[in-house]
Chain A
Amino acid sequence: MAQNLWELRQTKRMTVKELAGKSGVKADSIYAYENGEPIKMADLEKLAKALYVNKNEIKVQSDPVPKKKPAPPPKAATAPAAPKPAAPAAPQAKQPPAAKPTQTTSASEGQLDYLRVLFAKLNEDETAVTERLGKPLEELTFPEARQLLNTYHKAYTARQAQRPPDTRRKRGHLPEVVDDFEIEYLQTQQEAGTVITFTLFDKTEFTGRIIGFSPYNITIQQADESEVTIQKLALAYYTAAKAAA
């Protein structure tokens, strides 16, 4: 069953920063995804790979992260908040994370974390923001926090777009570090039992079915059932053999 991105990340004991480093997906995007923004397909694949799960094990749209601590009671001096239930309800069972946010749900920890990240990037003083809001960030409701996130995220995106091209952060032709196309290809060919011809630097050829591989070598079984391990350092290229054995 699919799980929220933040749940999977926490299960793997990873911070957002670590997941960003491992997956190649920006930390900002991960924060946004964990706060309910639908995950782009390209990022979903990278995140799944970094978390060692299948794509379909991650919810494309995560539910909000439940708050660990209850929100502090509203101060007497503050303006009246949204109407609350007249009588205190019986002790509530712990809400499952999948619960949909309602008007009165408090801002999630993830939202607040991401807001603070944006404040830092925009050199925004949190005290000044809370003064404008009339309450601390922890007292924001989920929709209020979402609204604020939208505003600051747009401001950040607009600022990034205004930077002269030569000062924009360049993303190289990566992710070399996260793409393992050859491993996927070898895995597929091994499972299919494809007969492959391997050509070495000195043009020596070996033909057989892959029975195992590592980043440094490939072991094949030849037609006479003998096994050969080819060191990749000596390998020039390989291709499916013309006629299947």
Chain B
Amino acid sequence: MSLSDHLRYLRALRGGVHTQTIRDAIGLEAVTPINHAETQYRPVRDPELVAKLAAYYERPLTEFQWHNARPRKYLTFYLARALKTKEVVSLTLRSGEQLAGKVDWWDLGSVGLWDENGRFLVVQRHAVVDWPGADSEWEDI
């Protein structure tokens, strides 16, 4: 799961607290960096912001750094490659559940998979926390 998705998830857990409230709490002048951090497809390049957000959500910085190393673009790379090579993908969800299957399609928000039992699954991309080679096998696309 990307840091962007993780941030949205944590904010939802806090009852959807407004980003302006977070801005004031962490001492930023503008709300834009927080909005960008929640929506961007590439890693958040500002370590200070990552640290401030981790402190705000009372989470270990290493957890945020771990998610930041798995941005949405890298998952896209993994899914696109699997679609091309027909390899079986293995996706670990936030719930801890592990799903595997062949990619039938993928788009901005989800991926369609055929699992080994012939079930067709539509997995939400924001639910995927990890996948093989998530932080090492990718190409900036």
Contacts and interface: CB of A to CB of B under 8 A. Distances in A.
Interface of A: 170, 172-173, 176-177, 179-182, 185, 199, 201-203, 215, 232-240
B107 A182 contact: yes
B50 interface: no
B99 interface: yes
Interface in B1-56: 8-9, 12
B94 interface: yes
Interface in B88-113: 93-95, 97, 99, 105-110, 112
A4 B119 CA distance: 42
Interface of B: 8-9, 12, 76-77, 80, 93-95, 97, 99, 105-110, 112, 119-124, 126-127, 141
Contacts of B141: 170, 172-173
A203 B109 contact: no
Given A181-B105, A181-B107, A240-B120, A233 B12 contact: yes
Contacts of B8: 233
B76 A233 contact: no
Q: Rank and list the top 7 A-B pairs by shortest CB-CB distance, nearest first.
A: A173-B80, A236-B127, A181-B105, A172-B141, A237-B123, A182-B110, A179-B107
A176 B69 CA distance: 21
B105 to A, nearest CB: 4
A120 to B, nearest CB: 28
Nearest to A232: B124
Contacts of A235: 124, 127
B108 A177 contact: yes
A237 B77 contact: no
A182 B124 CA distance: 10
Given A173-B80, A173-B141, A202-B95, A236 B124 contact: yes
Contacts of B123: 236-237
Q: Which of A236, A239, A240 has the most CB of B within 10 A?
A: A236
A186 B111 CA distance: 13
Nearest to B96: A203
Contacts of A172: 76, 141
B108 A176 contact: yes
A185 B95 contact: no
